[in-house]
Amino acid sequence: MFFSLSKILGFFATPSNAIAVVCAIGALLLLLQRQRSGSLTLTFGILLLLVFGYSPAGNVLMLTLTERFPAWQADGRDPDGIIVLGGAIDQEASAARGMVEMNSANERMTGAVELAKRFPKARIVFSGGSGNLIENGLPEAPIAGEWLERFGVAADRITLEGGSRTTDENAVFTRRMLMPKPGERWLLVTSAFHMPRSIGAFRAAGFDVEAYPVDWRTRGWVAAGMPFDTLPAGLSRTDTAIHEWTGLLGYWLTGRSSALYPGPVKR
């Protein structure tokens, strides 16, 4: 139920979708001869489109997420395992093309290979099923497993969790599968903007992990004052950030996150 509800509400909470709805309502009101209300609604929709499409608003919203957890720093103690969250592989395109097709979050996978080579004794765990609401899609995990082996990660080091559909399920199912022991050190690899919600979910599930953010999307706070040069770029950045902020709020309200805005803890 939570999965379906989150997908439905997420559609309408996505700014580009919401703006399209506002503009459509304005156009409909004009067709119904409601000139004043139609003009105001349509103007408001266009204003939102311009603000979130060209202004730095999307970057500001994104940076409040990506800068929450700093880049991981080695301290001489190697991790026992590395957990990589799904979301970087396009399952349907991969199946159709007969090769692994990735999206803009591909650093999750390249980061996993880099860490696997850097820490050759660490277990590599991939957690990702199918987040498709309309139909039963292919899980990411098997595709990720083949890709990791292709790039030199031994099969006996890889553990695949392919049943999870949400970040909450990533945390719960992975903890249940691994049964981490006290004192073990686990790194969590996911996009920097996704890290606050991921850490919150893993903490709520009772799994102590360390953030290893990748896929930063910006150069840092310098981007807070930089407008976008194309409308789709700004809307895409805003959509991603608002999706995460909505997810953080929903997870906190339903007890699926340890905090509304999880942050680093001193170790």
79, 171: one domain? yes
Domain of 103 in residue numbering reads as 73-216
131, 167: one domain? yes
One digit per residue, the tens of pLDDT, for the chain of length 267 reads: 665 666 666 677 789 999 999 999 999 999 999 999 999 999 999 999 999 999 999 999 999 999 999 999 999 999 999 999 999 999 889 988 988 999 999 999 999 999 999 999 999 999 998 766 555 678 899 999 999 999 999 999 999 999 999 999 999 999 999 999 999 999 999 999 999 999 999 999 999 999 999 999 999 999 999 999 999 999 999 999 999 999 999 999 999 999 999 999 876
9, 44: one domain? yes
Domain boundary among 216, 236, 261: 216
* Dihedral (CA of 217, 202, 267, 212) sign: negative
Q: Could you tell me if residue 193 is inside a domain?
A: yes
Q: Could you tell me if residue 258 is inside a domain?
A: no
We report the CATH number of the domain holding residue 103 as 3.40.50.620
Q: Could you tell me if residue 209 is inside a domain?
A: yes
Question: pTM for this one?
Answer: 0.90
The total number of structural domains that make up the chain? 2
Distance CA 85, CA 25 (A): 38
108, 200: one domain? yes
